[in-house]
Every structure is written in C-alpha cells, then in structure tokens.
Chain A
Amino acid sequence: MWWTPRAWPEGLRASMPLALPIAAVGMSFGLLAGPLLGAIPSILMSAVVWSGTAQFAALSILTSGGGTALAAGAGLLANTRFLPMGFALAPSMKGRPLRRLLTGALLADASFVIGHRGGGRFDISAVAWAAPVQYVTWVGGTVVGVAGATAIGDPSRWGLDVLFPVFYLSLLLPDLFPEHIQAGGRRARRQADRASSGRGPASSRNLRPIIVAVLAAAITLALTPIAPPGVPVLVAAAAALIGLRPPRQSMTQAGVGDDA
C-alpha cells in the first residue's frame, strides 16, 4: 500500500526522522534572519540556497557588521565541503550530464550520509529521494520562523539539534564496524556479508574507515576554533587521502579469493 512507509522509496523513508530537527533549525534561521534581511529575502534564501551551514555562516557575518562580499565568501567557503562529496558520488551516477547535474544539485549533508552504501558506492536514487523531506521542512521551518515564532520561542532551546549527530552516527557505525552492528538493517547485513566473505572477520578486517574517521574527527576539532564554519569538514575530507597507499588487506583478500 502506498501509505505504508515500507512502500516508499528508501531515501524518502530514511530522511523522515530528520523532518522535525530540520524544521526546528529552519525556524531558528527564520527567527534570526527575518529582522535582518526581511521576510521575503529570508524565505527566498532558504528556498534557493538550501544549506543551513552556508546561510548561518553568511548571517553571522552580517550580524557582526561584516559586508555582503564577506558574507558571501563565508557562505561559499562553508559549502566547499560539497566538492569532495560531489566527486565521491560521481562514479555511482548514471545518465547524461544534464541528469547528473540535476541529481547533484539535490545533494545535502544528510542525503550523502543516507545514500552511502560503503566502499565508495552510493545509491543515487536514495540520495535524490532524501531531498524532498529536507527541502520542504527547511523552507517551511524558515517561513514559520520569519512569520514570528516568538510565541513558541527560539527552537534551539529544545535541543533538537542533538538529533543530527546521532542520526549521522547511526549511519556511520555500520560502516566502521560491519561485523558488530548487523541488526542495523539491510545495508549493515550486506556489508557484514562482504566483510565475512574473506577468511573470517579478523583476517579481512578493513581498519581504514576507522582510522580515517578518527583522523577526520581530530582535524575537525583542531580546526574549528581557527577556521570559518564549514571549512573544518572540507579539510577533514582530506583524511581520505590515506587511500592513496594500496592496502595490504586487499592483497590477502585477493589471495583468499583465488583459493576459493
């Protein structure tokens, strides 16, 4: 039945838990941006920029008395993290350049996380289907915030912002520990299968995602106080460069495969 979540596209279903926190952050933005930019520009900004990090970065520059150029620079810098994400998605994409352009434009942080299937592969349809809920709640939240959320107060007080890191964590853990977190759904099981297709988990265990995740976390912590918002995430993506070195595991795995 179409009304049962099971029949919905995977990306749409997976993005549902984010509806509330995104609407809350959108309200925060509307609340802060409304008096400064005006109602219509604030809503339009959420509708065409559709990026909380960039919008808050630009807004914080304007609030602290910075000029338009500086605000634009801060916003764009915050979104440079989409460059490595776009290149990571690219090999999984099919179709003509125009189609890839339109799909790429639908990308958001959570969509990237939702569509990730491990080993550098992405479910592009899940990435695309993760967009509608995020877009509607972001713009809708902004409208509510602009229209005067004064009755409700600043939604950042509710603590819904904590939902983002938990959501991301729930999607990262199965990648880092595929053999442990197997109850986490289809994706985790598929990865567990792949991990155990060698000669037991110990021999084929791929430690690299864990090393990269720890390295990226350290980079983010180190850069946050000195770099503008969004930039630490971009630099942290460079932790993936340890992939330049060919892994020893892949050779042993190939050997096991030949035996079988």
Chain B
Amino acid sequence: MKTWLLIAVLAVGTVLMKTIGPVLAGGRQPPAPLTRIIALVAPAVISALIVTGTFTKGQQLIIDARAAGVGVAAVALWFRVPAVLAMLIAAIVCALLRLAA
C-alpha cells in the first residue's frame, strides 16, 4: 500500500513540477530581465548535469574513470569530433581504466 502511495506521489509531483511553468507562463514573452535570465538557465542546468554525471556518486565527490572519459571526450569535441564518436571514445577510455583498476 505504502509503495503505491509513494509511486503516486512521485508521479503526480513530477508532472506538476514539469508543467507549472508551461501552463502558467506558456506562449507569452516575459519582460526583458526575465528573458535574459531564461536565456541563461540552459547553460546553468546543463553544466550542473555534466558535473553531476562526471564527478559525483550519490552525495560523494569522486574523481574516477568517468572524469578521464569525459576529459578525453571534451578534448575530442573541442577538435570538432562528432558527438557520437566522442561518446564512443569516452566509453572506451572509461572501460579500459576500469579494467585496469
């Protein structure tokens, strides 16, 4: 019973948080300062997601094989290697380091 309740609360709450913005503020051009902030939300969130996926495990900060994989991929991307290839390189670097460990 408790499990079903947990699932229901998480499902409804998640949809609420995804949809409040689109429903309340959708389709309208907000005032200039807000527009400038919105323009910067994406770089902020994406950067935070990258850091989370590279250096964290739960609540721990770790430098492990992922950091090496992302680092090599970042260099590849900088030299205009296509994204899918960069992902492949990162996975290989990561797997090799984990094998060696």
Contact = CB atoms under 8 A, between A and B. Distances in A.
Interface residues of A, number: 104
B100 interface: no
Q: Chain A interface mostly helix, strand, loop or mixed? A: helix
A181 B78 contact: yes
B41 A157 contact: no
Interface residues of B, number: 72
Contacts, number: 308
Contact of B37 (A55, A163, A241): A241
27 contacts: A49-B14, A72-B13, A75-B10, A76-B10, A86-B17, A88-B21, A91-B30, A93-B22, A94-B26, A100-B27, A103-B22, A159-B69, A165-B54, A169-B73, A173-B78, A175-B46, A180-B78, A181-B77, A181-B80, A213-B43, A213-B47, A214-B47, A217-B48, A217-B51, A240-B39, A243-B33, A243-B37
Nearest to A233: B48
Interface stretch (A112-120, A134-142, A143-151, A191-199): A112-120
Given A84-B45, A243-B33, A220 B51 contact: yes
B51 A221 contact: yes
A242 B39 CA distance: 11
Contacts of B47: 172, 212-214, 216-217, 220, 236
Nearest to A33: B3
Interface string A222-243: 0011111100110011111111
Nearest to B2: A68
Contacts of B20: 83, 86-87
Interface of A: 17, 37-38, 41, 44-45, 48-51, 54-55, 58, 60, 68, 71-72, 75-76, 79-91, 93-95, 97, 100-101, 103-105, 107, 109, 112-113, 116, 118-120, 157-173, 175-176, 180-184, 208-210, 212-217, 219-221, 224-229, 232-233, 236-244, 246-247
